[in-house]
Homo-oligomer: A and B are copies of this chain.
Amino acid sequence: MRISEHSRAVVLLSGGVDSTTTLAIARDAGYRLYALTIQYGQRHAAEIAAAERVARAFRVDRHLTVPVDLRAFGGSALTDDIPVPHGKPSDPIPPGIPTTYVPARNTIFLSLALAWAEVLESEDVFIGVNALDYSGYPDCRPEFIEAFERMARLATRAGVEGKQNLTIHTPLIALSKREIIQRGLDLGVDYGMTLSCYEPSRTGAPCGTCDACRLRAKGFAEAGIRDPAVRAA
């Protein structure tokens, strides 16, 4: 890759499989890592602890956790009094956009990443969105990411002054969950640190039946390996 050894990347990190794999890919490409976690009032606040474990294990240059309480707006099973859907592990994920969709979440996350990138003089933002084995969220699609990138290049002082030509990197966007996990394992990721569940127990153990748990279990099953986080739980 054509990056200099001082190139900094802002990597959105939730502490789940996808963002942790994305962090590993950015590290492998040679970037200095600036991990950004958003505490948005999510039901599954245990994922903040997972993000901290991951950031420590990766020895990132800096890990920022920024609170933005999206419960103020509500409208999602993750931020409001709306039940999280559960199903049998073997059930397929239903089509359509589920109630766990959080209005404008990735737009907000990428906007905050853009702000930090400008201050860091970074041109590279990484986000672990995936449009294949995913939950149907509109803000995970390539056309959304491309439109965000176009907008972001007009949004900042650094962009206007020609000092920043922002790229939103989405290395997982076309991968299956199995491929994501295999890529991470190739890069030495210990998925035992990660948490994907939307509704973990108070001790942070995954429920096993929400969409996020089921997508994760499907990925590990297809990769033919045992999920170390489930074993640990």
Q: Does A204 contact B (CB under 8 A)?
A: no
Q: Does A232 contact B (CB under 8 A)?
A: no
- State A67–B141 Cα separation when bound (angstroms): 28
Q: Known interface pairs A72-B66, A73-B119. Does A154 touch B143 (Cβ–Cβ under 8 Å)?
A: yes
Please, which residue of chain B has its CB at the minimum distance from the CB of A141?
B154
User: Is the pair A69, B67 in contact by a Cβ cutoff of 8 Å?
Assistant: yes
Please, which residue of chain B has its CB at the minimum distance from the CB of A101?
B157
Chain B residues, Cβ within 8 Å of A230: none
- State A45–B120 Cα separation when bound (angstroms): 25
- State A151–B108 Cα separation when bound (angstroms): 12
User: Is the pair B66, A66 in contact by a Cβ cutoff of 8 Å?
Assistant: no
Q: Does A103 contact B (CB under 8 A)?
A: yes
- Residue in A104, A107, A137 with the greatest tally of chain B CB atoms within 10 Å: A104
Closest chain-B Cβ to A154's Cβ sits at a distance in Å of 4
Contact of A151 among B72, B116, B118, B147 (CB under 8 A): B147
Number of copies: 2
Please, which residue of chain B has its CB at the minimum distance from the CB of A157?
B97
- State A138–B118 Cα separation when bound (angstroms): 13
User: Is the pair A107, B152 in contact by a Cβ cutoff of 8 Å?
Assistant: yes
Residues of A in contact (CB 8 Å), total: 44
- State A156–B155 Cα separation when bound (angstroms): 20
- State A114–B137 Cα separation when bound (angstroms): 15
User: Is the pair A104, B156 in contact by a Cβ cutoff of 8 Å?
Assistant: yes
Please, which residue of chain B has its CB at the minimum distance from the CB of A65?
B72
Chain B residues, Cβ within 8 Å of A154: 138-139, 141, 143-144, 147
Q: Does A64 contact B (CB under 8 A)?
A: yes
Q: Does A70 contact B (CB under 8 A)?
A: yes
- State A69–B106 Cα separation when bound (angstroms): 18
Q: Does A171 contact B (CB under 8 A)?
A: no
Contact of A106 among B101, B138, B155, B159 (CB under 8 A): B155
User: Is the pair A157, B144 in contact by a Cβ cutoff of 8 Å?
Assistant: no
3 smallest CB-CB distances across A and B, nearest first, come from: A75-B119, A104-B115, A147-B151
Q: List chain A positions with a Cβ less than 8 A from chain B.
A: 64, 66-70, 72-75, 97, 101-108, 111-112, 114-116, 118-119, 137-139, 141, 143-144, 147-148, 150-152, 154-157, 159-161
